Structure 1
Amino acid sequence: MFSAATNSTVDVARGKITFGTQAVENFRKLLEQQDLFGALGNSFLYAIVQTVVALLICSLAGYGFELYHDRHKDRVFSFLLLAMMVPQVATMIPLFKMMSSMGLLNTVWAFILPSISTPFLIMMFRQNSRNFPIDVMEAARIDGLNEIQIFFRMYMPIQKSTYAAAAVITFMNAWNAYLWPKVVMSDNRAQTMPMLIANLAAGYSVDYGVLMMGVLFCSIPTMVVFFVLQKQFAEGITGSVK
């Protein structure tokens, strides 16, 4: 990908794997053909907002499912997990009609609302909440903290590895999403990076140098996020809590 982004389409088609001299030209063509910075801005906006909102909602749900006792919560959680078995395409038309009726098409809310509460993240936070010491909650209540304060001041700092792992997963899924944004984002000004890549690959003649330059810009943010949070990601996935 890196080397192809610096070569012409002829060199890429011939299988050249060394770096070339066409990087600036490919970047110039990419800017002429597509709104690169607009797509980057949209992808960052959608992915960051979805990540922040999803982490808050799913962690609250996982926290409540595990640390508050109710005889019906396991039954509710079982029904929640059944949603993991429903394919996305089965809900796409009803979701599109809902977004259209609310006037949310081509907005950030149409992108993030179907994904701000996912069974996988709720299950992940619930499993990791089992390592949260109950004595901390009891001591905090004695000190006068209410339940919301306990969540933000005690639970969240202790579960930072889980939050990091969930943030990596959510950000990557939001950044790489293509099908749902393609359905609800009909305005070119609202396109994301995967949609931009698809536009570059469409047509009878594909400039592979320009295409790889677009793929490079699409790949770098997720690579940076993962490498920055890889240690916390591994700890959160294995369920370790410090």
Structure 2
Amino acid sequence: MKKKKFNLGSILKYVFLSFVSFISIFPFIWMILGMTNSAVDITAGKIKVGAQLIRNFETLFSANYNFAQTLINSAVIAIITTVLALLFSSSAGYGFEIYQSKKKNYIFNILLLSMMVPFAAQMIPLYRMFTKLNGTPFGINSFGAIILPGISTAFLIFFFRQNAKAFSKDLVEAARLDGLGELAIFFRVYMPTQRNTYAAAAIITFMSSWNNYLWPLVSLQSTDKWTVPLLLSSMGSSYTPDYGMIMTGLVIATLPTAIVFFVLQKQFVQGMLGSVK
């Protein structure tokens, strides 16, 4: 029986990886411990389980903060944005790859160039545009104003087009010979074969929409329509922040994105690998 050789390099590698992993996960551990403590204990640097968890929950979900309604607002915006983004962006990526046109590459390149424009430079034009839509479901201070800019992004279209390159064109031709229309081919042939791509795109879009802060801050002017990031930011900027309550809100706000990621983790990895083939 051979004895295992002492490998100092492997030991140092695992020690380093363990240290980096601990640093990465420590903020979340600190949040979980913080939600059980009072603001005084957190400010004092207490890092152990406290006895203020129920009080923090009661304060967070009291009528003063309306946290439950805020969660509903974020969920409605994130789910609708994700569903519409998957539909419109995937159809655009599919069209760019499947249908032949002399000008499609020029249009696609212009679309990619739009990714270089920072969102801060787009806010004023967006605000002016949505102000003109006041009185409609897409005016300023409406959920539509938050959802509409996120349902078709250059990144998602690029992502779906890259994955569509691996989609067999023979399937499209065979479906056409069988008498299927173009929409039927998209919904009944293309979409089922791209489940991993849709899962990866769903995670990216849901996380982006759920954590969106800057544009909702500008466009949502009524507190009853605020999303979770806006409310948590408002709590943290108060004169005497209740850090225990804020930690509780942060943990709750993190759970939806964490659940979505872990449920679709396998498909996410496969979808991302497919996009870079």
* TM-score, normalised by the number of residues in structure 2: 0.85
SS at match of 1:151: helix
Q: Residue in 2 aligned with 1:75?
A: 106
- 2:137 aligned with 1:107, yes or no? no
For 1:17-166, list aligned pairs within 5 A.
17-32=47-62, 33-103=64-134, 104-166=139-201
The partner residue of 1:14 within 41, 44, 55 is 44
- The residue type equivalent to 2:141 in the other structure is N
Question: 1:176-197 deviations in whole A, cap 9, x for unaligned?
Answer: 0011001110001100000010
Give distance in 2, aligned partners of 1:198 and 1:35.
14
2:117 and 2:251 map into 1 onto residues whose CA distance is: 33
* Alpha-carbon distance between aligned partners in 1 of 2:99 and 2:158, rounded to the nearest angstrom: 15
Stretch moving more, 41-50 or 5-14: 5-14
Q: How far does the alpha carbon of each residue in 1:190-217 deviate from its partner, in whole angstroms, 9 at most, with x for none?
A: 0000001011101221111011011111
Amino acid across the alignment from 1:22: Q
Which of residues 196, 199, 203 is equivalent to 2:238?
Answer: 203
In the TM superposition, structure 1's runs of 4+ consecutive aligned residues that sit over 6 Å from their partners are: none
Task: Please report how far the alpha carbon of residue 17 of structure 1 lies from its aligned counterpart in structure 2 after TM superposition.
Answer: 2.0
Secondary structure at 2:61's aligned position in 1?
helix
Higher Rg:
2
| TM-score normalised by structure 1 residue count | 0.97
- Offset, 1:14: 2.1
Per-residue CA deviations over 1:130-153 (Å, capped at 9, x if unaligned) read 110111111111111001000000
2:260 and 2:157 map into 1 onto residues whose CA distance is: 22
| Letter matched to residue 146 of structure 2 | F
How many corresponding residue pairs? 240
2:227 counterpart residue number: 192
Two-structure CA RMSD over aligned residues (Å): 1.0
State the identity as a percent: 50
- Render the CA deviation track for 1:40-81: whole Å, top value 9, x for unaligned: 000000001111111111000100101111111111100000
Structure 1 window deviating more from structure 2 (26-35 vs 172-181): it is: 26-35
Question: Which of 245, 248, 263 is residue 213 of structure 1 equivalent to?
Answer: 248
Task: Supply the distance in 1 between the matched residues of 2:251 and 2:66 (Cα, whole angstroms).
Answer: 15
Alignment partner of 1:105: what SS?
A: coil
Letter in 2 for 1:224: I
The higher relative CO (CA closer than 8 Å, separation ≥ 6) is in: 1
Question: Matches of 2:45 and 2:264 in 1, distance apart?
Answer: 34
Secondary structure at 2:46 match in 1: coil
Gaps (5+ residues) in structure 2? 1-30
Amino acid paired to 2:189: M
